[in-house]
Amino acid sequence: MKRINHLLFAMFIVILGVLSGNPGLAQTIGNYTAYPPFMNQTVPPLVMLVMDKDHRQFLRAYNDITDLDGDGTLDTTYKDTIAYDGYFDWTKCYTYVAANNRFEPAASGSGANGHYCAGQWSGNFLNWATMARIDVLRKVLYGGHRIVDTATTTVLSRTLLPQDAHSWAKAYTGTDIAQLTPVAWPSITFCNTNTLGTQTSSLVMIANGNYPYAASTENKQCVYQQNTSSTSPYGPAFVPTYTYNTDVLVCVPAMLEATCQTYTDTLGVNHYKPVGLMQSMGLDRNGTATTTDDIIHMKFALISGSYGAHTSGGVLRSNVVDVNSEIDPATGMIAATSQIIANLDRFKILQYSRPAQPHNFKRRVPIVAC
C-alpha cells in the first residue's frame, strides 16, 4: 500500500510540473478574483475628498527647514537644483506687465537646471518665494485658483493673506540673483501679504536688502524690517522697490506649460486650460467637445470641516460627480455647476482685523465662505 501511495504521489508531482510548464495553463489574476453576476465591472471608483480647515494651509509652501531633495541636508534657502512647484512654470522666465497687473511668461529658462532668467523673473525662484501650501494643493488637484477664466485667457492667483503671522518673508543672498531676477542686488527680500481687506489679489513686496524678519514683527507684517522697539515705530521701515500682484498668466498657446490641456469646442476652436489630478485622472475626453464618448475613470465628492456642524463630522460640499460637472468640456472653463472646485477656491481666512495697535485682534479662523 505504501508503495502505491508513493507511486501516486510521484505521478502527481510529474503532472503538476507539466501543467505549470504549459504557458496556456499559466495562472492569472482571473483565477483568484470573481465578481458577482449582478455587478458591473466598469463602474468607476468613487473618491471622497476630505478637506480640513487648518489655518496652516495658508502658510508658505517652502518653509526652508525641510530636506526637499533627500540629500540629508536641510534646504534652508533657495536651491537651484530643486524644481519648486507652484503657479509659475519652473522652466520659464517672466516679466511683470504693469498694464495687466500680473506676471506673464516671456521665455524659457537657461542654465544647468533651466531656471536662470537674466533680466527677467525666474518661475522657479518665484514659486519658492511666493507660494502658499493651499496654492500647491489647488495646483496639483485641479490646476490652481483662476482669478480670470475665459475661453481665451487664464490667470492664476495666489491665495489672499491676512497681514498677521500667515504672511511670510523670504530673503535670499545667493550670488546668482542677477540670473534669477531682473535686478543685480547683493540680497533680495520677498514679503508676501495683503494690506487691505478689499484687495482681490495677493501681494508680494520686493525689497533690496536682507530682511528675513520683515514678517515677524509687532502689529502688521511687511511694514518693518525687524523689531527694534516695543513701541511704535517698532523698527526701521520695510520699503519695497516693487509691489506686485501675485497673479500669473498661464496656458499661452505659444508657451504652454506641461499641465495645460487642449479643449476643442463644437466649432473646432482649441482652448488651453491648466489641469490637475481631477481632470487628468477623472476622465478621457477622446479629444471631442461632446461628452457622449467620454470615458469616466473616476468620480469625486467633497466634504469639509464646519464650525457650525462640527459634531456631524463636517458638511458635504458636493455629492459624487464626474469632472464634466466641474469643467466645461468644450472650453475647459470652470463650469457654473462646479461644487468641488468652487468650494475649494472659497477657502480663505476671514474675521481678521487690521488694528491700529498691536494685540488688538479679533478672532480669526479659516472658514469656507459659501
Neighbours of 55 (CB within 10 A): 15
Higher per-residue pLDDT: 76 or 7 = 76
Q: What integer pLDDT is reported at residue 229 of this predicted model?
A: 78
Q: What integer pLDDT is reported at residue 348 of this predicted model?
A: 87
Q: Give the mean pLDDT of 145-158.
A: 97
Whether 27 shows a pLDDT value over 80: the answer reads: no
Q: Where does residue 242 rank: exposed (0-12), middle (13-18), buried (19+ CB within 10 A)? A: middle
Any residues with CB less than 8 A from the CB of 303 and at least 6 apart, and which? 48, 49, 50, 51, 313, 314, 315, 316, 317
The pLDDT mean for the chain works out to: 86
Any residues with CB less than 8 A from the CB of 257 and at least 6 apart, and which? 89, 92, 250, 251, 274
* pLDDT tens string 187-246: 999 999 999 888 999 999 999 999 999 999 887 899 999 888 777 788 899 999 999 999
pTM of this structure: 0.84
Q: What integer pLDDT is reported at residue 261 of this predicted model?
A: 94
Distance CA 256, CA 322 (A): 26
pLDDT-based confidence at 84, cuts 50/70/90?
A: very high
Q: Give the mean pLDDT of 291-306.
A: 87
pLDDT-based confidence at 18, cuts 50/70/90?
A: very low
* pLDDT tens string 257-294: 999 999 998 898 999 999 999 999 988 877 666 777 78
In terms of average pLDDT, the best of 29-33, 162-166, 304-308 is 162-166
Any residues with CB less than 8 A from the CB of 124 and at least 6 apart, and which? 80, 83, 84, 88, 90, 91, 109, 113, 115, 180
Least confident of 6-10, 47-51, 204-208, 297-301: 6-10
Instruction: Please state, in angstroms and as integers, the Cα–Cα distance from residue 123 to each residue in 126, 194, 340, following that order.
Output: 5, 21, 28
* pLDDT tens string 306-357: 777 777 778 899 999 999 999 999 999 999 999 999 999 999 887 666 555 4
pLDDT-based confidence at 362, cuts 50/70/90?
A: very low
Q: What integer pLDDT is reported at residue 350 of this predicted model?
A: 77
Sheet of strand 242-245, all strands in order from the earlier edge strand to the far edge: 168-172, 188-193, 203-208, 242-245
Whether 55 shows a pLDDT value over 90: the answer reads: no
Whether 24 shows a pLDDT value over 70: the answer reads: no
Distance separating the N- and C-terminal Cα atoms of the chain: 82
Q: What integer pLDDT is reported at residue 49 of this predicted model?
A: 93
Q: What integer pLDDT is reported at residue 117 of this predicted model?
A: 97
Distance CA 282, CA 341 (A): 14
Q: What integer pLDDT is reported at residue 180 of this predicted model?
A: 98
Q: What integer pLDDT is reported at residue 234 of this predicted model?
A: 84
